[in-house]
């Protein structure tokens, strides 16, 4: 039998109702008591990391998750993180950079309704996660939810209430789980590189979603308080003319590598293509910036956190690392 470590963080799956609304309170032991049949298929240990609504997830908890996996990596065949759905995609992306080349499964799952509800999706998500981890050849960071297996850098929550909460952005589903059977679509070969784990992450990252009424003075505040600036432009990633000069001036006012500017798009699928239109191409050569291309927005934010945590000074080094494919996060070249 394989042995897995289940780490609980709270979330809807562990929530109970009170006057203030749903609040995470159930322990890992209580959660797993709803699927007693799993005990006959694998050995499970349980560890509580925190007990929060995932809205309150933060970098310090990312670090605690990584440290826990690092301390226990040799003891277990895989790891299951029970997590709230609202920020699960950010956590799966962050862990994909903090834990690289893991030849063991590290799975995140949760539920749209508490496990105590008759109509809950928690039971199937939990069972699917265990069956996926028991399947031979599974490895790396994955989200298992609604019968789908999604690589950690490509997950996005697209439905706020329904059970099919997550999709995979610009990348196929890795597998599906049906009737306790894993159907693989993509088989990832074992990592040949050595396992890497780090807790060096910066939380000085700001995501700016442009609107037609955005004002250029917003850059003064952002650049004064944050080190990574991700801009969700329009369409393929265009920057309006009335913002152009202020953005270029602000970015160029700092030493090389101090501020990391990343251009992305508000459109979920097919990625950014900044150089297609004049509103994007005109930025070329005016300042140092990176482009998200086909990367998932959550992965862009997490990769910016990770890169800034490495304390690199050269933009050439930063650029090389940003465009390096890590955990299948970027395909476009």
Task: Give the pLDDT of residue 270.
Answer: 81
Average the pLDDT over 176-198 and give the result.
Answer: 94
Average the pLDDT over 39-54 and give the result.
Answer: 97
The residues with which 149 forms a beta bridge, in sequence order, are 144, 175
Mean pLDDT, all residues of the chain: 94
Among this protein's residues, is 12 annotated catalytic? yes
Task: Give the pLDDT of residue 333.
Answer: 55
Of 55-69, 151-165, 231-245, the one with minimum mean pLDDT is 231-245
Give residue-wise pLDDT tens across range 260-303.
999 999 888 887 777 665 555 677 778 899 999 999 999 999 99
- In DSSP notation, 184-196 reads ES--PPPP-SPPE
Q: Which two tokens stand for residue 176?
A: 């599906």
Contact 301, 243 (CB under 8 A): no
Task: Give the pLDDT of residue 95.
Answer: 98
List the one residue out of 254, 243, 190, 180 whose CA is nearest residue 216. Answer: 243
Task: Give the pLDDT of residue 214.
Answer: 94
Provide the 10 A C-beta neighbour count for residue 145: 28
Give residue-wise pLDDT tens across range 301-318.
999 999 999 999 899 999
pLDDT above 80 for 53: yes
Task: Give the pLDDT of residue 73.
Answer: 98
Average the pLDDT over 156-173 and give the result.
Answer: 96
Q: Which two tokens stand for residue 118?
A: 């008759």
Provide the 10 A C-beta neighbour count for residue 331: 12
Average the pLDDT over 45-59 and give the result.
Answer: 97
Task: Give the pLDDT of residue 276.
Answer: 63
Residue 277 DSSP one-character state: S
User: With the C-alpha atoms ordered 136, 134, 166, 109, is the resulting torsion angle positive or negative?
Assistant: negative
Task: Give the pLDDT of residue 183.
Answer: 96
Task: Give the pLDDT of residue 58.
Answer: 97
**Confidence at 19, pLDDT banded by 50, 70, 90:** confident
Active-site pick, 8, 9, 12, 85: 12
Task: Give the pLDDT of residue 235.
Answer: 79
């Amino acid at each position: 039998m394989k042995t897995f470590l289940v780490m609980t963080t709270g979330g809807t799956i562990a929530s109970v109702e009170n006057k203030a609304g749903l609040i995470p309170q159930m322990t890992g032991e209580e959660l797993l008591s709803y699927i007693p049949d799993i005990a006959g298929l694998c050995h499970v240990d349980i560890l509580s990391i925190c007990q929060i609504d995932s809205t309150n997830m933060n970098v310090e908890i990312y670090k605690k998750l990584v440290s826990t996996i690092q301390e226990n990596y040799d003891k277990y065949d895989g790891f299951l993180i029970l997590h709230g759905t609202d920020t699960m995609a950010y956590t799966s992306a962050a862990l994909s950079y903090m834990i690289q080349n893991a030849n063991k499964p590290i799975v995140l799952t949760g539920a749209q309704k508490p496990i105590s509800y008759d109509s809950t999706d928690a039971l199937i998500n939990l069972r699917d996660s265990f069956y996926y981890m028991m399947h031979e050849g599974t490895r790396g960071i994955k989200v298992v939810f609604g019968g789908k297996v999604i690589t950690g850098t490509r997950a996005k929550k697209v439905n706020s209430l329904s059970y099919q909460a997550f999709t995979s952005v610009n990348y196929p589903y890795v597998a599906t789980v049906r009737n306790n059977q894993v159907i693989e679509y993509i088989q990832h070969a074992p990592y040949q590189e050595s396992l890497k784990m780090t807790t060096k992450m910066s939380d000085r990252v700001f995501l700016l979603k442009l609107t037609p009424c955005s004002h250029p003075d917003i850059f003064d505040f952002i650049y004064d308080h944050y080190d990574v600036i991700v801009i969700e432009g329009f369409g393929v990633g265009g920057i309006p003319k009335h913002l152009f000069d202020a953005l270029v001036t602000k970015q160029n006012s700092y030493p090389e590598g101090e501020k990391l500017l990343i251009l992305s798009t508000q459109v979920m699928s097919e990625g950014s293509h900044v150089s297609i239109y004049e509103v994007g191409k005109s930025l070329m050569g005016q300042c140092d910036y990176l482009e998200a291309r086909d990367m998932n927005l959550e992965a862009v934010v997490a990769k910016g956190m990770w890169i800034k945590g490495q304390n690199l000074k050269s933009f050439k080094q930063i650029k090389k690392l940003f465009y390096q494919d890590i955990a299948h996060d970027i395909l476009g070249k």
